[in-house]
Amino acid sequence: MNKRVHFNTPNHIHELTFSCYHRRPFLNDPNHGQLLVEAIDRSKEKLEFSLLGYVFMPNHIHLLILPLRQKYQISLILKSIKQSVSRSVMILTRKTNPNSLDSFKTKSKSKPFRFWQPGGGYDRNIISQVALRKSIDYIHNNPVKAGLVQSPDEWEWSSFKDWANLGHGPIAVDLEAMPFVK
């Protein structure tokens, strides 16, 4: 497996995308979505980053984050979010529906269950206002493009309402932290 290279450049926004194991629709379960919300909130606090935008799709997520520390590692932010969700989902599943554990099974003895696809996912540094706008539009239109809703405001698991001043999504978005990106 190739190792993803992250460019941990101060004041850069990161567009992150990572997928559920074998692109299975694990995030169709609202309990899993809520566990992801909680993991992102904890990671924001612990690793000091602003969340500028997001969408949770059934089988993957997109995040736009701005690390606040001058020295940071995107890989640690991803690990913090992904491990927390994986552990929480497995605990919840064992308690509430142990028969559904099969959907998380792998063929690996060392890692018998997975929630996330292995690897670092996709990471793109955003360094211009134009690229940021394109990224936000792409993220918010993902559920429309996938045929899940007719318009972005209909998708619950998104920052679209925050950006459009129509309310709030399930995670607080830090629009006041919007830089500007040179």
**Domains of the chain, CATH where assigned:** 13-177 (3.30.70.1290)
Compute the average pLDDT of residues 107-124: 88
What kind and span of H or E run contains 138? Answer: helix 129-145
Q: What is the mean pLDDT of residues 24-43?
A: 97
Q: Mean pLDDT for the chain?
A: 91
Name the strand (E) or helix (H) holding 122.
strand 122-126
Residue 138 has what pLDDT? 97
Strand order in the sheet with 49-56: 49-56, 60-67, 13-19, 122-126
* pTM over cut 0.85: yes
Q: Is 172 exposed, middle or buried (0-12, 13-18, 19+ CB in 10 A)?
A: middle
Tokens read off for 148? 């899940």
Is residue 173 pLDDT above 50, yes or no?
A: yes
- Give the model's pLDDT for residue 11: 81
Over 80: is that where the pLDDT of 120 sits?
A: no
Q: pLDDT band for position 111 (50/70/90)? A: confident
**Residue 100 pLDDT exceeds 50:** yes
Query: What integer pLDDT is reported at residue 2 of this predicted model?
Result: 44
- Work out the pLDDT band at 181, boundaries 50, 70, 90: very low
pLDDT for res 1: 46
Across 15-35, average pLDDT: 96
Task: Please tell me the predicted confidence (pLDDT) of residue 180.
Answer: 55
Which of the four pLDDT bands, split at 50, 70 and 90, describes residue 177?
Answer: confident
Q: Are 72 and 6 in contact (CB under 8 A)?
A: no
Q: What is the pLDDT of residue 5?
A: 53
Instruction: Identify the pLDDT of residue 169.
Output: 94
Query: For the segment 55-88, what is each residue's pLDDT rounded down to a tens digit?
Result: 999 999 999 999 999 899 999 999 999 999 999 9
> Could you tell me the two tokens for 92?
């919840």
